[in-house]
Amino acid sequence: MIVIPPDPLPLTPLTERLLAEAAALPLQDAAYALWWQRSFFIREGEAASPQDLSNRADAMVYGQMLAEGLALDRIAAPESGAILRLRRAHPRTSVAELRDAILAAVKFDDDCHRFFANDSTDYWQQVERAIERASRLSPGYLDTTLRDARNQLARNMR
């Protein structure tokens, strides 16, 4: 049984807006939206102690810390900040349902990247094919979520 600790994340105007948008979505779509927006939450969590990134060495260390935070969120997705954020958006949902939705979102995101074939065809066609294949394995996402997945994949794979 997973016990969810209290969410230590301070709410900022950006994180409040992202959580409100996710609350308006079905659970599966909210999980995916919050999953690919996790870097905003990690950065916003550090808003209380702003970083001076004018020094190149400090900027590199900050980038490495952000990358490590994202990697830890992926490794422990069901027990990480992802479940805390999803619980804020869908507070009446059981822990098992939150966990399953996050695992499904991570799988869908992984499949989108896995099915991206960087071949000689048009770049946008490659993106659309990848999302279409991933959505066949993970049906039920809203059209708006699939649109967001296409845009996110296009940004990530450039």
Quote the pLDDT of residue 78.
Answer: 53
- Residue 13, classified by CB atoms within 10 Å of its CB into exposed (0-12), middle (13-18) or buried (19+), is exposed
Which of 16-25, 67-76, 89-98 is predicted with the least confidence, judged by mean pLDDT?
A: 67-76
The structure tokens listed for 20 are 């409100």
User: What is the tens place of the pLDDT at every residue in 62-79?
Assistant: 566 656 655 655 545 555
Quote the pLDDT of residue 81.
Answer: 74
Please state the domain extents for the chain: 13-157
